[in-house]
């Protein structure tokens, strides 16, 4: 059956065209019921049970559930429970969910794909007896509700037609009161989710997962101002009265945040609970700028625990900001509306209500940027010892906290598998196993290079090539060689795994790799971007095995000047897979004279010249020290922490990877000036360097930031012989002033903006790690098209699609970094179980009520509170006096400045089993009886200025004489006390 809709449409030139839309209807679409004798169900489709179980006390008959759109959009957590089975999802509802929420649609598709769940998609839009056209003046929502009721009515008639004695019924689930009333008038079974779940006596846990805006409505006290409507926000932005931007919460003070808007170079400050007005980290908000007379300074108070603030301060303007502000006043605004919520599911712990039999509790997220969440659960006795997942439902004006619901439990607090799962979920890391479809696309083992491949590639198997990587590396994606040519010049080759030979555009494997975007490295595990058979085997350039590669070959003179560059697909056979240490020993051993040793020495010599040239051009050398855990082979717990040593071979490999990336960037941009995938590092606004300049000026040094070259020179000159770690601290602070390096498409911005500030390079990309970075896969495809080794495809040359891909790559890359740092922090906690150590630390910042320190050996950062939030003396602690002008804290005759070395005692506070914390104590023999405990903050400002989780990186420094004396005096004091 064919239905037509004809209408006239006016063209841009004023003409009129006739448009005919045809909608095909048929009567042979199956109902999905396994026992139905009237329908023929496809063999590969999920069917509904012939006799569904009767678990609801509301209905005494077996029944199927039929969902409306809002049930799926807002109750997806409840629907994901295995207890919910035999559900009919109409194509009308499926299409609406797809358009309104791609994220929820993806979760729904996963449920539909599970045959055990018995979720059946009924194509009601193309069934002759269930299709309804839209009435004149009818809204899309009303028409969809009418379609749902029509489908439910048809199912009832169809079931009776197939079997007149059948007691099977269909129950519509809808939280729309009007839709329920209309369904009841049509003699259909209908229920709200809350009522239906409440009737499932065998599954009381499902009640916790139900989203309900009717919860918590008994509270009438208004706390926050109301948000503007969407129309008011649009009108205000149009008139210039309002601005919009993304909100970022402060990790140092939960009553402070900032919004990045186009009108201001620096972020706009938001201070105070009322002015934050229910904005959550990541939300896109509308703000109203305050008059310049009301602008404020960033707070100098550290408030990371909401329990430090009295409840009666909720309605105040937060007076502690006025007393604790430092520096110049900055543009300040208030949040007046929410344009887009960026809420997600949050991991954390339950702060149980102390009242017996209470069902309302507070949830404490792991991410300190997120406020506590009120939830209702009857499982608190069980969940109190578990890591759990909670989703925010809404945040009403009368509630100090947002309202949410319990989603699921992850496992016992403190168990490593549970904590790793938290890290992956909190950082949105796709970590499921690869699908059967992807596995079917992988090459079968054993594998060897096919004979025809040799004809397409340059055979380099006779050249001495070797790889140099960290110990234990199995995803070896780069190898090098160097040799003298007959003309006296030097040939250098960088050989990269040819991943694109195995990953073809548009395949399931390609789509999954693009989604994951990067391999994620945790301390004790690796989340691969591509399956292990590729990452650790067929694409890994292992020693003495033939592998397919993409080679970048230069001809250089002895001063490392490039004379000629060429690219080609190749076949290589690496002579050795070396570690950095092994390669360094070969270079340093004069008795080693084989071809590998000669190649490494040539590479090392040229790398030094290349590095010096980069530095002379203004490239920055910033502090990025790291630590490595020695893991027990049986328990997999950390047993030792060592600083990663940087050898000449580390720098050698880095220089040639950088050179290859620059050479490839120049090539693909010249051939594809509108759609080349490149990487840029924007020059930071001068305001970003303010903390660095102030910190250096207090120590008598001037940091010049007018150019990268002057910044590098300033850092080189800022040296204090008596404090060897001082320069490293300055470079750590400099890193935090940087913007985030990002991927972009060449045709989307001006060529002058391609510049990579950190590397002082006019153009740059990523080519050298296609096993673990999807950006490199795209670059390989572009380069292959440049040299005629492969052809292009539409998506590769689509600027818009490629730009969207870049957004995902940038996001995933950032989250992978944070996940790696969180994993190091987790293992640092495990390392300090039943252990106390006194370690040398340095002061990073001096705040009004705290001293923020860094411990080089472990790369930890912590906050030591020395006063209350308003500067008052702590109980049982010495008195500190804060000087805002000099940014110092004084206790007696001792004055604490930024960058001062101090001794810090580290231990794990296990008194609260639910939430163990790493404790920092300031140990000073100069202040008798002084020992202040503080909670670990483990924070770091990310390159784009937003505060993020800090990696446990470290540089192991030898203790100077004063530190040794401090420890000696401390031990002496301990003996006297005994």
Helix axes 595-616, 648-671, angle to 10 degrees: 70
Q: How confident is the model at residue 952 (pLDDT cuts 50, 70, 90)?
A: very low
Q: Read out DSSP for 690-714?
A: HHHHHHHHHTT-----SSHHHHHHH
Whether the upstream peptide bond of residue 281 has omega within 30° of 0, thus cis, is no
Give the chain's mean pLDDT. 86
Tell me 375's DSSP state: E
Q: Distance (Å, rounded) from C-alpha 765 to C-alpha 672? A: 13
Q: How confident is the model at residue 217 (pLDDT cuts 50, 70, 90)?
A: low
Q: Distance (Å, rounded) from C-alpha 309 to C-alpha 184? A: 51
Between 545 and 825, whose confidence is greater? 545
In percent, the amount of the chain with pLDDT more than 70 equals 88
Tell me 436's DSSP state: H
CA 350 to chain centre: 23
Of 368, 312, 350, the residue nearest 863 (C-alpha): 368
pLDDT of residue 351 exceeding 80, the answer is: yes
CB-based contact 744:679 (threshold 8 Å):
yes
Q: Which distant-in-sequence residues (6+ apart) come within 8 Å of 291 by Cβ?
A: none
Query: In what order do the strands lie in the sheet containing 87-90?
Result: 119-122, 87-90, 63-67, 169-173, 189-191
**Looking at residue 942, what is its pLDDT?**
27
Between 890 and 636, whose confidence is greater? 890
pLDDT of residue 153 exceeding 90, the answer is: yes
**Looking at residue 335, what is its pLDDT?**
97
Between 723 and 556, whose confidence is greater? 556
**Looking at residue 937, what is its pLDDT?**
30
**Looking at residue 722, what is its pLDDT?**
85
Cα Rg of the chain (Å, integer): 32
pLDDT in tens, 811-848: 999 999 999 988 988 888 888 887 888 888 888 888 88
Q: How confident is the model at residue 595 (pLDDT cuts 50, 70, 90)?
A: very high
pLDDT of residue 345 exceeding 70, the answer is: yes
Q: What are 324's two structure tokens?
A: 């604790």
pLDDT of residue 604 exceeding 70, the answer is: yes
Q: Distance (Å, rounded) from C-alpha 790 to C-alpha 800? A: 22
In DSSP terms, 170 is beta-bridged to 64
CB atoms within 10 A of CB 37: 9
CA angle 824, 827, 832 (to 5 degrees): 125
Q: Which distant-in-sequence residues (6+ apart) come within 8 Å of 270 by Cβ?
A: 247, 256, 257, 258, 259, 276, 279, 287, 332, 333, 334, 335
Mean pLDDT for 891-904 is 86
Q: What are 475's two structure tokens?
A: 């995803």
**Looking at residue 943, what is its pLDDT?**
28
pLDDT of residue 276 exceeding 90, the answer is: yes
Instruction: Write phi, then psi, for 833 (nearest 5 degrees).
Output: -65, 130
Mean pLDDT for 128-151 is 92
Q: Distance (Å, rounded) from C-alpha 130 to C-alpha 672? A: 51
pLDDT in tens, 83-106: 999 999 999 999 999 999 988 999
Q: How confident is the model at residue 309 (pLDDT cuts 50, 70, 90)?
A: very low
Between 413 and 872, whose confidence is greater? 413
pLDDT of residue 112 exceeding 60, the answer is: yes
pLDDT in tens, 115-129: 889 999 999 999 999
pTM for the complete prediction?
Answer: 0.83
pLDDT in tens, 725-737: 889 889 988 988 8
Torsion of CA 627, 632, 637, 638, to 10 degrees: -20
**Looking at residue 100, what is its pLDDT?**
92
CB-based contact 222:400 (threshold 8 Å):
no
CA angle 758, 764, 768 (to 5 degrees): 105
Q: Read out DSSP for 761-784?
A: BSS----S-TTTBHHHHHHHHHHH
pLDDT of residue 945 exceeding 50, the answer is: no
DSSP H helix total and E strand total for the chain:
25, 41
CB atoms within 10 A of CB 8: 8
In percent, the amount of the chain with pLDDT more than 90 equals 56
Could you tell me the CA-to-CA distances from 194 to 111, 248, 376, 745 in Å, in that order? 21, 35, 13, 48
* Tokens 């489709």 belong to residue: 45
**Looking at residue 43, what is its pLDDT?**
66
HSE value, Cβ hemisphere, 13 Å, CA-based, for 623: 22
**Looking at residue 155, what is its pLDDT?**
95
Under DSSP, is residue 93 helix (H, G, I), strand (E, B) or coil? helix
Between 222 and 657, whose confidence is greater? 657
């Amino acid at each position: 059956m064919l239905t037509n809709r004809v209408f006239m449409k006016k063209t841009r030139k004023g003409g009129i065209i006739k448009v005919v839309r045809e909608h095909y209807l048929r009567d042979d679409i199956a109902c999905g019921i396994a026992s139905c004798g009237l329908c023929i169900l496809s063999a590969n489709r999920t069917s509904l049970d012939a006799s569904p179980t009767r678990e609801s006390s509301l209905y005494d008959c077996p029944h199927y559930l039929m969902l409306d759109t809002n049930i799926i959009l807002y109750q997806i957590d409840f629907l994901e429970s295995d207890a919910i089975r035999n559900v009919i999802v109409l194509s009308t509802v499926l299409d609406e969910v797809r358009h309104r929420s791609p994220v929820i649609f993806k979760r729904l598709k996963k449920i539909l794909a599970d045959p055990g769940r018995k979720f059946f998609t009924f194509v009601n839009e193309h069934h002759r007896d269930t299709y309804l056209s839209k009435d004149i003046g009818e809204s899309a929502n009303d028409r969809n509700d009418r379609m749902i009721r029509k489908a439910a009515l048809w199912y009832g008639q169809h079931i009776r037609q197939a079997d007149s004695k059948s007691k099977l019924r269909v129950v519509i689930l809808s939280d729309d009161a009007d839709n329920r009333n209309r369904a009841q008038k049509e003699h259909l079974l209908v229920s709200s989710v809350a009522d239906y779940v409440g009737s499932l006596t065998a599954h009381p846990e499902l009640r916790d997962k139900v989203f309900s805006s009717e919860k918590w409505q008994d509270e009438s006290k208004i706390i926050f101002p109301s948000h503007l409507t969407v129309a008011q926000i649009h009108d205000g932005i149009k008139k210039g009265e309002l601005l919009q931007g993304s909100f970022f919460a402060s990790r140092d003070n939960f009553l402070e945040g900032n919004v990045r808007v186009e009108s201001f170079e620096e972020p706009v400050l938001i201070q105070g609970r009322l002015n934050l007005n229910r904005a959550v980290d990541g939300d896109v908000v509308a703000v109203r700028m305050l008059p310049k007379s009301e602008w404020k300074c960033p707070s100098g108070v550290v408030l990371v625990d909401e329990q430090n603030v009295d409840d009666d301060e909720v309605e105040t303007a937060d007076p502690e900001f006025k007393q604790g502000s430092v520096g110049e006043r900055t543009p300040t605004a208030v949040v007046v509306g929410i344009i887009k919520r960026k809420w997600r599911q949050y991991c954390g712990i339950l702060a149980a209500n102390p009242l017996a039999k209470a069902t309302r509790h507070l949830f404490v997220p792991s991410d300190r940027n997120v406020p506590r969440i009120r939830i209702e659960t009857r499982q608190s006795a069980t969940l109190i010892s578990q890591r759990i997942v909670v989703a925010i439902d809404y945040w009403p004006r009368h509630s100090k906290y947002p309202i949410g619901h319990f989603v699921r439990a992850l496992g016992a607090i403190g168990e490593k598998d549970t904590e790793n799962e938290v890290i992956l979920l909190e950082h949105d890391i796709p970590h499921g196993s690869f699908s059967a479809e992807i596995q079917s696309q992988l090459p079968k083992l054993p594998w060897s290079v096919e004979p025809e491949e040799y004809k397409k590639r340059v055979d380099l198997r006779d050249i001495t090539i070797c790889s140099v990587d960290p110990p234990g590396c199995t995803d070896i994606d780069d190898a090098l060689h160097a040799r003298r040519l007959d003309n006296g010049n030097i040939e250098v080759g960088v050989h990269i795994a040819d991943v694109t030979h195995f990953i073809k555009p548009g395949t399931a494997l390609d789509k999954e790799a693009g989604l994951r975007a990067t391999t994620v490295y945790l301390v004790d595990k690796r989340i691969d971007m591509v399956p292990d058979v590729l990452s650790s085997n067929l694409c890994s350039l292992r020693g003495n095995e033939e592998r397919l590669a993409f080679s970048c070959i230069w001809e250089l003179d002895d001063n490392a000047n490039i004379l000629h560059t060429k690219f080609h697909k190749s076949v290589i056979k690496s002579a050795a897979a070396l570690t950095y240490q092994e390669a360094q020993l070969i270079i340093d051993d004069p008795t080693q004279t084989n071809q590998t040793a000669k190649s490494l020495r040539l590479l090392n010599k040229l790398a030094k010249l290349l590095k010096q040239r980069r530095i002379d051009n203004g490239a920055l050398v910033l502090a990025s020290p790291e630590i490595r855990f020695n893991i027990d082979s049986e328990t997999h717990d950390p047993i030792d922490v060592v600083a990663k040593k940087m050898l000449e071979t580390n720098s050698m490999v880095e220089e040639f990877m950088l050179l290859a990336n620059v050479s490839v960037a120049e090539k693909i941009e010249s051939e594809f000036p509108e759609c080349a995938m490149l990487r840029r590092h924007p020059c930071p606004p001068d305001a970003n360097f303010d903390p660095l300049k102030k910190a250096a000026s207090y120590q008598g040094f001037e940091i010049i930031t007018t150019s990268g070259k002057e910044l590098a020179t300033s850092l080189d000159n800022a040296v204090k012989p008596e404090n060897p770690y001082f320069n490293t601290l300055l470079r750590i602070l400099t890193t935090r002033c940087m913007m985030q390096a990002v991927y972009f498409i060449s045709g989307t911005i001006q060529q002058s903006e391609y510049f990579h500030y950190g590397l002082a390079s006019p153009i740059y990309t990523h080519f050298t790690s296609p096993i673990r970075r999807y950006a490199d896969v795209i670059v390989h495809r572009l380069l292959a098209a440049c040299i005629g080794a492969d052809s292009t495809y539409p998506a590769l040359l689509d600027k818009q699609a490629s730009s969207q891909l870049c957004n995902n790559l940038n996001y995933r890359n950032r989250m992978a970094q944070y996940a790696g740092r969180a994993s190091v922090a987790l293992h640092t906690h495990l390392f300090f179980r039943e252990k106390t150590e006194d370690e040398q630390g340095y002061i990073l910042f001096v705040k009004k009520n705290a001293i923020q320190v860094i411990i080089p050996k472990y790369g930890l950062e912590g906050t030591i509170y020395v006063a209350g939030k308003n500067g008052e003396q702590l109980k049982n602690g010495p008195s500190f006096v804060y000087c805002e002008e000099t940014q110092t804290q004084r206790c007696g005759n001792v004055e604490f400045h930024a960058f001062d070395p101090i001794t810090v005692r580290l231990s794990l506070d296990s008194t609260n089993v639910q939430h163990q914390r790493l404790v920092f104590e300031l140990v000073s023999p100069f202040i008798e009886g002084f020992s202040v405990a503080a909670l670990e903050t483990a924070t770091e400002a990310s390159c784009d200025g937003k505060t993020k989780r800090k990696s446990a990186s470290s540089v192991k420094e030898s203790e100077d004489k004063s530190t040794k004396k401090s420890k000696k005096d401390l031990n002496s004091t301990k003996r006297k006390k005994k």
